[in-house]
A and B are shown apart, each in its own frame.
Chain A
Amino acid sequence: MSIAEADRPEGKVFKQIGKRIKRPDGVDKVTGRARYGADLNLSGMLHGATLRSPHAHAVLISIDTSKAEAMTGVKAVVTRDDFAEQPDEMAAAGELPVNYMHVVRNVMAREKVLYDGHPVAAVAATSMSIARKALKLIEVKYEVLPHVIEPDEAMKDDAPILDETLFTDGVDPKPTKPSNVSKIVKIKKGDIEAGFEQAEVIVERTYHTKPVHQGYIEPQACVASYSEDGSGELWVTTQGPFMYRSFTARLCGMDVSKLKVTPSEMGGGFGGKNNVYGEPVAMVLSRKSNRPVKMVMNRGEVFRATGPTSGGHMTVKLGATKDGRITAAKADLAFQAGAFPGAPIGPATMTAFACYDLENVLATGYDVISNRPKVAAYRAPGAQVIAFAVESAMDELAKKLEIEPIDLRMQNAAKEGTKAAYGPVFGPIGMEETLQAVKDHPNYNVPLGPNQGRGVASGFWFNIGGETSVTMNLNEDGTVALLVGNPDIGGSRASMSMMAAEELGIEAEDVRVSIADTGSLGFNFLSAGSRTTFAVGKTTINAAREVIKEMKARAAKIWDIPEDAVVWEDGHARPASTNAGDFEPLSIVEIAKKASTTGGPISGHIQTNVTGAGPSLATEAVDVEVDPETGQVKILRVTVAQDAGKAIHPSYVEGQFQGAAVQGIGWALNEEYIYDDKGRLENPNFLDYRIPVASDLPMIDTVIVEVPNPNHPYGVRGIGETSIVPVMAAVNNAIENAIGVRLSDLPMSPPKVLKAIEENS
């Protein structure tokens, strides 16, 4: 019997799961004791600084570093010449795979600079002020080229071509001319034309979204230390220390065994810390200077050079019968990949209509490069962009059909047994349950005042499992040390301690979770794809079961009875029955204390590739009030209902729902990159790149829906991402409900909303 079958969550009485324990990282974070990426200081450490391109697109003709190298206090300068060429080879990197040939060019520009902020050279010096002064002494000759930012411009025949070696993949026959379109993908189900022929009502509209940044508070930061013996250490803020090890070792020409990566505390990532930027540069600077080198980005560098998500240009067409059955759904989407291929068109086309049980679907995605920083993953990458278009279209369809928007979604909802357009047949999923939860919520029935509107939208995200390795050690006093390889980006230390405690029959406070460096555990995929609580949790449970098995064996040894005559209950080994013998139960503490005389230390270690992640769906309702004279949108109420499968620590789950909703509100209303006519970013700071502040927001109300995932012992699904997916459409639908005009471009900033009101009046 598999673990999953043995422990179906139905009817299981939990003692730890579902409690709201104090967060184990809380005190250190509020006192400032927690050590983030920039908090490590080593003796003899140098400070690194990066020279960045002021041009959006230019040939890099020459770089003269001699004056900088001659400056007192400068210990090393690196350029493209310090990085070996990399082959055209894809590598996994969380939700968006990368190509080493592009990674090396993004870390340090080679033939060309491809965006404002592209690194051109870097300096390590005895102080930051010396390093910054030295940057000004580096002489770079550029041949400036015409640039292109927006994907629809980049797709035109006469657009400036970024990469002469790039030919569109997914086209037959193979194109003969290079293009900024790196790839075309299609997701198909049924017969789209036949589906539209059956339709009695059709809606079709084109939508645009702007690229937005993950907006993590902690900028990229690391300390690299390369030893004369050829080994190196990297201390870094990252979602994936093992991935950073792979990338950094590869780019620096090191064996993986020679590099140890230690993840720091995380000050936010949201997908933006899946990829290396300054880390290989710091390592090469350290190698050249024989000193540790710290590199910390400032906010301007974060905005100019680290991955935002894609902007999208999308057309969505839906057809339905008059009674509300959707007969066909079609999406065309072109996403900005930034300077190198890799926009999330795969997840976008796959998730586009995944909320619904549809016969005829066609989603076509175009991956378009342009002169912007290379995109990185961002919370349900791609799904949120296309959901803005699809869920706005659903609302338009509901209006046209005169069907209540939740009812229309309910009528077409995907459910257990639905075959998704992207392939799988769904197991149990919570689409209908989240719709019902929003419909039943008091917020959904609050009467609206003048200039107010209400909007609904739903969203889907796959979630993943992946490579996982954990070790559980029973300490000599009966407490437990759990070693995991995934940085805690959303409460995983708390939830791991709870799952371990649940299995062991002890309190979560007695399990201390540490995040391992890469020398201490086998490979762990990164903290991404909402995998950590699911996959690392499942592995932790299995490690605890190993420990229990061993503890039972030790008790059997002490009692001199067979191992299978011992059971584990409530933190104690007990004889399975009176037949087994009459022994006082042995607590975990007693077993731990006797471990040295019963066979030595007790531990459990599991390494596996976890499968069986359950998709998580969400439905959200947003109420807004629009100022008809200024176009300002005030968010009045937000209700998030998402399927968690099983919430291990409900406060953290609610926090994820709320955080995702807030990021979506910023995306909907204000966040955008503003470029001047030379392709330079005009707003690389939090003053003019407007993420929401607390006073912009109401309390975000949450409903944790629990449709258990049968592939996790407790039913857990990943919950970190889906809640951002519906937000932009929900806000758009609410604005439409308030002003009677449908917007189609993000952000829906005051001037755009006012213009829409005026054009309608």
Chain B
Amino acid sequence: MRYEAPESLDAAIALLNEESGTARVLAGGTDLIVQIRADMVDPDLVVDIKKIDEMRTISEENGGWRVGAAVTGAEMNEHAAFKAAWPGVCEGTDLIGSTQIQSRATIGGNLCNASPAADSVPAMIAAGVTLTIAGPNGRRELAVEDLNQAPGKTALEKAEIVVSFAFPARGAVASDAYLRLTPRTEMDIAVVGVGVSLELDGDGTCRAARVGLGAVAIKALLVDEAAQALIGTKVDAAAIDAMAAATSAAAKPIDDKRGTKEYRIKIAGVLAKRAAGIALERARQN
């Protein structure tokens, strides 16, 4: 296995493009190294992207935020202004593994590992994040919910790398929240994860909302029906119940070692209701 740690994105793309065998991008390594040790993947080339400056920064941009793909969960949570703007996204990264893992695990890695249960992804779907992807043919943009296709499978072409995450600008009375259910409080994988982002008018009417749902399908989902149940309402109990019902209805889980189908469908609604309540409370305090 060859290990490379280029300092430019172009060099990283060139390395990946020239490799004829199995190539893998290494960010925090909290998934990749585990997979190598478990004999799930045996790469010929590993390209470490942590030395590429563009991928390691958090910056304000057009009233929103841009976060490099190799930024760690711990760095996002330590960035006070970003955390104030997107507390739900930070909640997601704050739940990945443990404190030690969060100091290595990156937002790009958590997405590109393509686990349906990744904790940062439902909140980013709810946030309406747009990805910037770079590859041999230049750069392109993609909605975050469109990247993953199935467990372990992304829409990235050969030698493409997710470079950064753009979080959109939004109104003053807005916030988000992420909740997951795990049997343990830490060091666990979501049985269900729900991210809710909403934005209110001055009179408290919901102007915009998005709901992301994880661990209940082959990939994390954007649940438009759930969002529509909130938009135009005062986000009262009836609206939240309708949103929760729509979230449960969108869940297409399987029975597996981490939970039953029946249980996951119920919990999707419970968490959606609770996450919406938290996001609403936060938005009203903004």
Flag B241-263 by CB within 8 Å of A: 1 or 0 each: 00000000000000001111011
Name the B residues within 8 Å of A754 (CB-CB).
263, 266
Name the A residues within 8 Å of B98 (CB-CB).
693
Query: Are the CB atoms of B185 and A751 closer together than 8 Å?
Result: no
Name the A residues within 8 Å of B181 (CB-CB).
630, 632, 750
Query: Are the CB atoms of B184 and A751 closer together than 8 Å?
Result: no
Min distance, Cβ B80 to any Cβ of chain A, angstroms: 24
Query: Are the CB atoms of A687 and B183 closer together than 8 Å?
Result: no
Q: Please measure, in the bound complex, the distance between the C-alpha atom of A524 and the C-alpha atom of B22, giving whole angstroms.
A: 54
Query: Are the CB atoms of A750 and B263 closer together than 8 Å?
Result: yes
Q: Please measure, in the bound complex, the distance between the C-alpha atom of A688 and the C-alpha atom of B186, giving whole angstroms.
A: 12
Flag B27-57 by CB within 8 Å of A: 1 or 0 each: 0000000000011000000000000000000
Q: Please measure, in the bound complex, the distance between the C-alpha atom of A630 and the C-alpha atom of B265, giving whole angstroms.
A: 11
Q: A687's contact among B185, B187, B191, by CB below 8 Å, is which?
A: B187
Q: A674's contact among B191, B257, B266, by CB below 8 Å, is which?
A: B257
Interface of B is mostly: loop
Name the A residues within 8 Å of B257 (CB-CB).
674, 682-683, 688
Name the B residues within 8 Å of A750 (CB-CB).
181, 183, 191, 263
Query: Are the CB atoms of B183 and A695 closer together than 8 Å?
Result: no
Q: B259's contact among A682, A695, A696, A751, by CB below 8 Å, is which?
A: A751
Query: Are the CB atoms of B270 and A749 closer together than 8 Å?
Result: no
CB of A670 within 8 Å of the partner chain: yes
Name A672's closest neighbour in chain B (CB-CB). B257
Name the A residues within 8 Å of B263 (CB-CB).
631, 750-751, 754
CB of B162 within 8 Å of the partner chain: no
Name the B residues within 8 Å of A250 (CB-CB).
none
CB of B89 within 8 Å of the partner chain: no
Query: Are the CB atoms of A693 and B258 closer together than 8 Å?
Result: no
Name the B residues within 8 Å of A8 (CB-CB).
none
Q: B186's contact among A682, A686, A693, by CB below 8 Å, is which?
A: A693
Query: Are the CB atoms of A670 and B189 closer together than 8 Å?
Result: no
CB of A549 within 8 Å of the partner chain: no
Query: Are the CB atoms of B183 and A670 closer together than 8 Å?
Result: yes
Name the A residues within 8 Å of B141 (CB-CB).
none
Docked complex: B183-205 residues within 8 A CB-CB of A: 183-189, 191
Name the B residues within 8 Å of A693 (CB-CB).
98, 184-187
Query: Are the CB atoms of A630 and B270 closer together than 8 Å?
Result: yes
Name the A residues within 8 Å of B259 (CB-CB).
751
Name the A residues within 8 Å of B187 (CB-CB).
686-687, 693
CB of B267 within 8 Å of the partner chain: yes
Min distance, Cβ A687 to any Cβ of chain B, angstroms: 6
CB of A759 within 8 Å of the partner chain: no
Min distance, Cβ B193 to any Cβ of chain A, angstroms: 13
Name the B residues within 8 Å of A674 (CB-CB).
257
Flag A737-760 by CB within 8 Å of B: 1 or 0 each: 000000000000111001000000
Q: Please measure, in the bound complex, the distance between the C-alpha atom of A688 and the C-alpha atom of B256, giving whole angstroms.
A: 11
Name A747's closest neighbour in chain B (CB-CB). B183
CB of A692 within 8 Å of the partner chain: yes
Query: Are the CB atoms of B270 and A695 closer together than 8 Å?
Result: no
Q: Please measure, in the bound complex, the distance between the C-alpha atom of A693 and the C-alpha atom of B188, giving whole angstroms.
A: 10
Query: Are the CB atoms of B183 and A749 closer together than 8 Å?
Result: yes
Name the B residues within 8 Å of A682 (CB-CB).
257
Q: Please measure, in the bound complex, the distance between the C-alpha atom of A695 and the C-alpha atom of B95, giving whole angstroms.
A: 12
Name A751's closest neighbour in chain B (CB-CB). B263
Query: Are the CB atoms of A669 and B183 closer together than 8 Å?
Result: yes
Min distance, Cβ B159 to any Cβ of chain A, angstroms: 28
CB of A23 within 8 Å of the partner chain: no
Q: Please measure, in the bound complex, the distance between the C-alpha atom of A682 and the C-alpha atom of B183, giving whole angstroms.
A: 17
Known contacts A682-B257, A750-B263; A690/B270 CB under 8 A: no
Q: Please measure, in the bound complex, the distance between the C-alpha atom of A370 and the C-alpha atom of B21, giving whole angstroms.
A: 44
Flag A669-712 by CB within 8 Å of B: 1 or 0 each: 11000100000001100111010110110000000000000000
Name the A residues within 8 Å of B258 (CB-CB).
688
Name the B residues within 8 Å of A696 (CB-CB).
184-186
Q: B188's contact among A132, A630, A687, A749, by CB below 8 Å, is which?
A: A687
Q: Please measure, in the bound complex, the distance between the C-alpha atom of A631 and the C-alpha atom of B98, giving whole angstroms.
A: 24
Query: Are the CB atoms of B267 and A630 closer together than 8 Å?
Result: yes
Known contacts A630-B181, A682-B257; A687/B267 CB under 8 A: no
CB of A629 within 8 Å of the partner chain: yes
Query: Are the CB atoms of A751 and B188 closer together than 8 Å?
Result: no
Known contacts A630-B270, A751-B263; A687/B186 CB under 8 A: no
Name the B residues within 8 Å of A132 (CB-CB).
39
Q: Please measure, in the bound complex, the distance between the C-alpha atom of A454 and the C-alpha atom of B38, giving whole angstroms.
A: 42
Q: B189's contact among A632, A687, A749, A751, by CB below 8 Å, is which?
A: A687
Query: Are the CB atoms of A751 and B186 closer together than 8 Å?
Result: no
Q: Please measure, in the bound complex, the distance between the C-alpha atom of A669 and the C-alpha atom of B188, giving whole angstroms.
A: 14
Q: Please measure, in the bound complex, the distance between the C-alpha atom of A300 and the C-alpha atom of B40, giving whole angstroms.
A: 14
Q: Please measure, in the bound complex, the distance between the C-alpha atom of A688 and the C-alpha atom of B258, giving whole angstroms.
A: 7
Docked complex: A407-430 residues within 8 A CB-CB of B: none
Query: Are the CB atoms of A690 and B184 closer together than 8 Å?
Result: yes
Docked complex: A96-144 residues within 8 A CB-CB of B: 132
Q: Please measure, in the bound complex, the distance between the C-alpha atom of A574 and the C-alpha atom of B185, giving whole angstroms.
A: 62
Q: Please measure, in the bound complex, the distance between the C-alpha atom of A686 and the C-alpha atom of B34, giving whole angstroms.
A: 13
Name A634's closest neighbour in chain B (CB-CB). B185
Most buried by B among A630, A669, A682: A630
Query: Are the CB atoms of A751 and B270 closer together than 8 Å?
Result: no
Query: Are the CB atoms of A690 and B188 closer together than 8 Å?
Result: yes
Name the A residues within 8 Å of B183 (CB-CB).
632, 669-670, 690, 749-750
Q: Please measure, in the bound complex, the distance between the C-alpha atom of A686 and the C-alpha atom of B184, giving whole angstroms.
A: 11
Name B192's closest neighbour in chain A (CB-CB). A630
Name B38's closest neighbour in chain A (CB-CB). A300
Name the A residues within 8 Å of B38 (CB-CB).
300
Query: Are the CB atoms of B184 and A692 closer together than 8 Å?
Result: yes
Name B187's closest neighbour in chain A (CB-CB). A693
Name the A residues within 8 Å of B262 (CB-CB).
751
Q: Please measure, in the bound complex, the distance between the C-alpha atom of A132 and the C-alpha atom of B39, giving whole angstroms.
A: 10
Docked complex: A346-369 residues within 8 A CB-CB of B: none
Min distance, Cβ B165 to any Cβ of chain A, angstroms: 26
Q: Please measure, in the bound complex, the distance between the C-alpha atom of A632 and the C-alpha atom of B257, giving whole angstroms.
A: 17
Min distance, Cβ A62 to any Cβ of chain B, angstroms: 25
Q: Please measure, in the bound complex, the distance between the C-alpha atom of A696 and the C-alpha atom of B267, giving whole angstroms.
A: 20
Docked complex: B150-194 residues within 8 A CB-CB of A: 181, 183-189, 191
Query: Are the CB atoms of A695 and B189 closer together than 8 Å?
Result: no
Docked complex: A615-637 residues within 8 A CB-CB of B: 629-632
Min distance, Cβ A685 to any Cβ of chain B, angstroms: 9
Flag A322-335 by CB within 8 Å of B: 1 or 0 each: 00000000000000
Min distance, Cβ B33 to any Cβ of chain A, angstroms: 14
Name the B residues within 8 Å of A687 (CB-CB).
187-189
Name the A residues within 8 Å of B266 (CB-CB).
754
Identify 18 new A-B residue pairs, CB closer than 8 A, beyond the known A300-B38, A682-B257. Answer: A629-B270, A630-B267, A632-B183, A683-B257, A686-B187, A688-B189, A688-B257, A688-B258, A693-B98, A693-B184, A693-B185, A696-B186, A749-B183, A750-B191, A751-B259, A751-B262, A751-B263, A754-B263
The 8 residue pairs across chains A and B that have the minimum distance between CB atoms:
A751-B263, A695-B185, A674-B257, A629-B270, A682-B257, A670-B183, A695-B186, A693-B186
Q: Please, could you name 23 A-B residue pairs with CB atoms under 8 Å apart, sorted by A?
A: A629-B270, A630-B181, A630-B267, A631-B263, A632-B183, A670-B183, A683-B257, A687-B188, A687-B189, A690-B183, A692-B184, A693-B98, A693-B185, A693-B186, A693-B187, A695-B185, A695-B186, A696-B185, A696-B186, A749-B183, A750-B183, A750-B263, A751-B263
Residues of B whose CB lies within 8 Å of any CB of A are 38-39, 98, 181, 183-189, 191, 257-260, 262-263, 266-267, 270
